[in-house]
Amino acid sequence: MNVQLPRDAVVTAITEHMPDTRTFRLRLQDGEGKLAFRPGQFNMVGLPGFGEAPFTFSSPPQADGSFEHTIRAVGRLTKGLFKLHVGEVLHVRGPFGSAWPLDQVKGRDLLIVAGGMGMVPLRPLLLEAFMKRPDYGKIVILFGARTPGELIYGEEFDSWRGQPETALLLTVDEVPPGEEWKAHTGVVTGLFPDMDIDPDNAAVLTCGPEIMMRFVARGLLLRGFSPARMYVSLERRMRCGTGHCGHCQLGPKFVCKDGPVFRYEELSGLPDTML
Amino acid sequence: MGDQVSARIIREEDLARWTEELRQDYAVIGPVTAGVATSFRPIENPSELDWNYTSTVIPPSKAVYSPRQTLCRFLKAGRGYRIEEVLPSREKCVLLGVHPCDLHGLLVLERTLLGETKDAYYAAARASVLVIGLNCQSVGDNCFCASMGTGPFFGYWMGQGPPQGCDVLLTDLGDRFLVETFGEEGEQLIAKVESSPPTPQDIGEKLRREAAAKEWFRKTLDTRDLPALMRRNTYHPTWRITGEGRCLSCTNCTMVCPTCFCYDTRDRAELDLSVIERIREWDSCQDERFAEVHGGNFRSTREARLRQFVCHKLSYWVEQYGCFGCVGCGRCMTWCPTAIDLTEIAAEIRADEERK
């Protein structure tokens, strides 16, 4: 099989979170079956003439074969994707990469720390954990963004909070004048004193800007969380998804196939990362 | 390539006739010297071949791994596009006169492209290629294959078994060539020329010449504990001094390296958008944009990029593939405009550690 060959996927729904951030619900064209993927993995998503880039799944696999990608329009390809309407086709290759360790952290409390678009790969993990709620202990979610409007998936917050033994703490860097904001302001590590979770039994799963993950990891280490149960999801430039194009290399790791989800310990001491 | 190894002797004067015979059935690509540079190119006349060349600019592995390859075509169909797979189709070809460093270059490159995930394009191109190696008796100033265990003669490599990746191996014995074949396809190639069984003197002469060639090396690389040594010295001052002070980010080192595999992709469209091709082209970790993402660049400095190249070859590669990414061909330093030498960098780091 030629893994560099894209497949057609049809857009079945588009949700707009912000003018520059949308979720595309997709399904492989008829007859091509379902994508078997796990939360944390990614697809190469592309359009003819615009190229391809890696996008993490933002939903767990759906019964009808659907999957979602939440995408922010920042470059040529993503702006091209934003011109698509429901019923039109884009291309996917995948799934690629490692997944969140949902099985290994069974029985543990989950501390989920997200920064901005870093919530995208964590959402399918959350939704899958909610589906198997008795498998996990407490779930504490810390979510920070630049402004209240950039806390994506806000329409789902109430249902997340409604789950048993689940807490969602929010923070923003700044509140635009005139907007009402009752939760925390400041960086996401500022929420640490407010969280109620036992470091000895917790697994940490985090995604956000690398500089954020650096302070999250180091801050939590100081609070007694174990580096062996701390997982990060990284972003790198990628062209293939299979460890051939070389762009995503971080020391001896290929982020596309050894990651994007890594145990924090695996990456310690490597150059060219802010972790 | 099987286990079956057999040896024959052919006379030097029969070499041209043999090459001509090969040309009847295969495109023959071999070393041709023009001016100061030798390159692997399709030959039309056996007299073009340079049997005494030292090194080439572009390694022969890159005659298989094309600088540019179309991955697929998108053909306008209704409102969308139909995807058409494009695999390289090549005439049967013989890569002739490949030195042991470059034979290893092929093997190392293939640990990436034909390893865990097979690259369909490389696999298709490789399937049409037979390789005739040539044991090297022309050691250049920058050659250090003897340090890497990849030359000057082709043999056991890092304890990983008998020679692979080569169908026929030639050794120049003066007025005659010792020809060793590995497997059936190699046998068929040598069946095209008159040959005789080797005598014990012929085998002895090969060993004598191998021992002599090993004496000519001026450049060495101490590989003891090298991967760990490099990992321990991620922040050694030489990265800054050499990277920022001398490296020009020209990417020559990666273009001429036999094991470099990195590529970039881009789409090329017809003006009327009826056909769009997705192509890949060699890329380089020395290019400033290589590790760029939206909002940042993980290797924005020449210091970081030089460290990536050298540490990848001498350290990370061992973790990734169980072998060094460097075969000691010396091309990266030969073609570096400021003569940056990875053996000097490694030696400097080792010396500093030993002084401590």
Q: Is the peptide bond before B42 cis (omega within 30 degrees of 0)?
A: no
Distance (Å, whole) CA B312 – CA B317: 5
Q: Are residues B72 and B104 in the same domain?
A: yes
B334 inside 8 A of chain A by CB? no
The contacts of residue B85 (CB under 8 Å, 6+ apart) are A2, A5, B72
Look at residue A30 in the predicted model and tell me its pLDDT. 73
- Between the CA atoms of B309, B314, B318 and B322, what dihedral angle is there, to the nearest 10 degrees? 110
Best of B72, B298, B315 to disrupt the A interface (most A CBs within 10 Å) is: B298
Q: Residue B219 domain-assigned?
A: no
Q: Residue B221 domain-assigned?
A: no
CA A78 to each of CA A22, A25, A97, B175: distance values in angstroms, whole numbers, following the listed order:
10, 15, 21, 65
Which residues of B fall within a CB distance of 8 Å from A251? 311, 316
Q: Are residues B199 and B97 in the same domain?
A: yes
Q: Are residues B207 and B256 in the same domain?
A: no
Q: Residue B220 domain-assigned?
A: no
The half-sphere exposure of B71 on its side-chain side, counting CA atoms within 13 A, is 21
Distance (Å, whole) CA B134 – CA A215: 56
The predicted model scores a pTM of 0.95
- Grouping H, G, I as helix, E, B as strand and the rest as coil, residue A9 is strand
* pLDDT over 80 at B227, yes or no: yes
- Grouping H, G, I as helix, E, B as strand and the rest as coil, residue B355 is helix
Task: Say if CB B133 and CB B96 are below 8 A apart.
Answer: no
For the domain A7-96, what is the CATH code?
2.40.30.10
Task: Tell me which chain A residue has its CA closest to the CA of residue B315.
Answer: A252
Contact B283 A246 (CB under 8 A): yes
Q: Are residues B148 and B80 in the same domain?
A: yes
* pLDDT over 90 at B301, yes or no: yes
Chain Cα centroid distance, residue B188: 25
Mean pLDDT of the B339-346 span:
98
Task: Give B85→chain A minimum CA distance, Å.
Answer: 7
Note the pLDDT tens digit of each residue in B8-64: 999 999 999 999 999 999 999 999 999 989 999 999 999 999 999 999 999 999 999
Range list for CATH 3.40.50.80 in chain A: 109-267
Q: Are residues B13 and B68 in the same domain?
A: yes
* pLDDT over 60 at B346, yes or no: yes
Note the pLDDT tens digit of each residue in B139-168: 999 999 999 999 999 986 544 556 678 899
Type of residue at B77:
A
Mean pLDDT of the B100-123 span:
96
DSSP class of residue B199 equals P
- φ, ψ for residue B252, nearest 5 deg: -55, -45
Distance (Å, whole) CA B350 – CA B356: 10
How many domains, chain B? Answer: 2
Distance (Å, whole) CA A94 – CA A96: 5
Q: Are residues B179 and B262 in the same domain?
A: no
Note the pLDDT tens digit of each residue in A190-230: 999 999 999 999 999 999 999 999 999 999 999 999 999 99
Enclosing domain of residue B273: 226-355
Distance (Å, whole) CA B198 – CA B204: 10
CA A30 to each of CA A47, A90, A263, B196: distance values in angstroms, whole numbers, following the listed order:
19, 14, 37, 63
- Grouping H, G, I as helix, E, B as strand and the rest as coil, residue B166 is coil
Among B214, B249, B284, the domain boundary falls at B214
Sign of CA dihedral A118, A121, A126, A127: positive
Range list for CATH 2.40.30.10 in chain A: 7-96
Q: Are residues B197 and B69 in the same domain?
A: yes
* pLDDT over 70 at A151, yes or no: yes
Q: Are residues B230 and B210 in the same domain?
A: no
Among B214, B238, B273, the domain boundary falls at B214
Contact A245 B119 (CB under 8 A): no
How sure is the predictor about A46, in pLDDT bands with cuts at 50, 70 and 90? very high
For chain B, what is the mean pLDDT? Answer: 94
Among B214, B235, B259, the domain boundary falls at B214
Contact B304 A235 (CB under 8 A): no
Look at residue B159 in the predicted model and tell me its pLDDT. 45
> Of the CATH numbers 2.60.40.10, 1.10.10.10, 3.40.190.10, 3.40.50.80, which one belongs to the domain with range A109-267?
3.40.50.80
Which residues of B fall within a CB distance of 8 Å from A257? 116-117
How sure is the predictor about B4, in pLDDT bands with cuts at 50, 70 and 90? low
Q: Are residues B119 and B47 in the same domain?
A: yes
Distance (Å, whole) CA B67 – CA A102: 41
Which residues of B fall within a CB distance of 8 Å from A252? 315-316, 319-320
Note the pLDDT tens digit of each residue in B172-221: 999 999 999 988 999 999 999 999 999 999 999 999 999 999 999 999 99
Q: Which of B97, B266, B83 is nearest to B168 (CA)?
A: B97
- Grouping H, G, I as helix, E, B as strand and the rest as coil, residue A210 is helix
Look at residue B162 in the predicted model and tell me its pLDDT. 62
User: Most distant CA pair in chain B: distance in Å?
Assistant: 73
Which residues of B fall within a CB distance of 8 Å from A246? 261-263, 283, 285
